[in-house]
Chains A and B, each alone.
Chain A
Amino acid sequence: MELLNRIIPNVMADTGRLFDSVLATLQMTVWSGAVMLVCGLTLGIVLTVTKDGGIMQQKAVYHVLDKIINICRSVPFVIFIAILLPVTKAIMGTKIGVRGVIVPLVVASVPFFARQVETALANVGHGPVEAAQSMGKSPLSIIFTVLLRESIPSIARGTTITLINLIGLTAMAGYVGAGGLGDYAITWGYNYGHYDIIWVSVLFVILIVSVIQFIGNLIAKKNTH
């Protein structure tokens, strides 16, 4: 305790603030991550099955989604926060705080994740899909028992990358007063010249990223034969 007080005095001066920041980062990551996972998976699957030669080919659907994703991927995150304010208000009931940043976080990360899923599913190849079709499996069953099942390792890796990007995005959540480690480092560290706060923030981010990476690798490894 004595030691900590000496090397990171500004952090120790208000540990409650650090705690709140870590909590806010975790909340933002978990909530938007969960929604992103569901939406991104769905979108990635729809892209895969509707594309030319897919098991439920619908060229119009594919092209529309494909364009939307490309557009969304080129919009910077801060702009999302701004233009999505009315949507956020409508869905979450507030424009500020952790709740206020989840919608832009989801919108910004889903297109990227959908592409990751699309690539992962494409890597399954047409062979196993065709084999399942020849056995009389339905498209829905093929999606779950072949496409998703065979791409668990690549989807785990894609999820890891997307979640880590997401944590990067949460650093900007301070704009709408959502707090988090990024905001903590800038507002209380950088602005006051309290560099120990910056270092501790970075340390926690590294810790969270490492845990995510570890879990992702573990899932990928367990499912590779």
Chain B
Amino acid sequence: MIKLKNICKTYMLAGQPVEAVKNVTLTINNEDIFGIIGFSGAGKSTLVRCINLLERPTSGQVLIDGKDITQFSAKELRAARRKIGMIFQHFNLMPSRTVLDNVVYALRGSGLSRAQMREKALKLLSLVEIADKAEAYPSNLSGGQKQRVAIARALANDPDILLCDEATSALDPQTTKQILSLLKKLNAEFGITIVLITHEMAAVKEICSRTAVMDHGSVIEEGETFSVFADPQAKLTKDFIATTSNLKKIHALLEDCPAAVPLNENDIVVKLTYTERSVSEPLISAVTQKFGVLLNIVFADVDIVQGAPIGGTVAVISGSREKITEAVKYLIDKNVAVEVIKGGAA
């Protein structure tokens, strides 16, 4: 378990203090995939680098399995770091060493013989599916391949924790997906705790079980990824989600082009969003049958987060005024957030 207690980090830049991290307290449980999102400059990298003390916090404690590593001697800290792997946006491989030697390098000093190190390195390279490039040099690999090597290297000393600082930000969407599923696999197979720093919403949605949102050095929201996405509290989180959702477009559509959504007298336009995980029931057809109203879906944007649908649907509900009101009530009962975009008084 990683416990960050009141972490502050202030840099001096040209005589001016820059508060990169302000009083952050976070708990990351074992075997979690913990996402930290925020716009560039929010302090995410600084915070994650405090976990292995690549950056020493100005104040605060970093507890790894209950031990405050800020109190460790240089030697103890080096031993602790061997159990905390880290991967980076720009991979940071050693250009003068082959892929295999990059991994072997991480194993040096672990007490294994040269042959054992080679054997273990090859095994790790197979695990991340890059063993065929063992004798290649990093400069001959693609971004995704380099990140695989970096992952193998980070896993060399069987760490309990893997820190990922924008590990997919330099990769194309397809490769990003592959690397993320690799991380997910490592978490599932070895129970390794993963801390994933990113400015990309998609990466968090894909694999994180818990998520913290950072802004200007502070954690402004934290919780189960599903809840953070389904029911964001902070304005910034909402903005962040809006960057990946298309639902906003409906407002523009209704205003600029009313003919696209022709409405009768009683009709209302509603936005239905799922806030709970239990939306397996066929709600739309249930409403249609139960209340004798018509639901015409004009727009939908549904995503799967942690195995549950998230996002929403924009629909026109037509029928008598009472029936529509009843239908809306029913949906609210079923934990669907209903926002009337246009028409009606319901």
Contact = CB atoms under 8 A, between A and B. Distances in A.
A142 B138 CA distance: 19
A20 interface: no
A191 B162 CA distance: 74
A127 B52 CA distance: 15
A1 interface: no
A136 interface: yes
A133 interface: yes
A131 interface: yes
Interface string B80-103: 111011101011111110000000
Given A130-B88, A145-B105, A225-B139, A135 B82 contact: yes
Interface stretch (A3-11, A32-40, A146-154, A170-178): A146-154
Contacts of A132: 105
Contacts of B156: 135
A128 B157 contact: no
Interface size class, chain B = 20 to 34
B241 interface: no
B299 interface: no
B79 interface: yes
B78 A127 contact: no
A70 interface: no
Interface in A156-173: none
Contacts of B95: 128, 150, 225
Interface in B286-304: none
Interface string A122-145: 000001101111111110010001
Given A131-B88, A150-B94, 4 more contacts: A127-B88, A131-B94, A135-B106, A149-B96
Interface of A: 127-128, 130-138, 141, 145-146, 149-150, 152, 223, 225
Interface of B: 52, 54, 74, 77-82, 84-86, 88, 90-96, 105-106, 108-109, 137-139, 150, 153-154, 156-157, 163
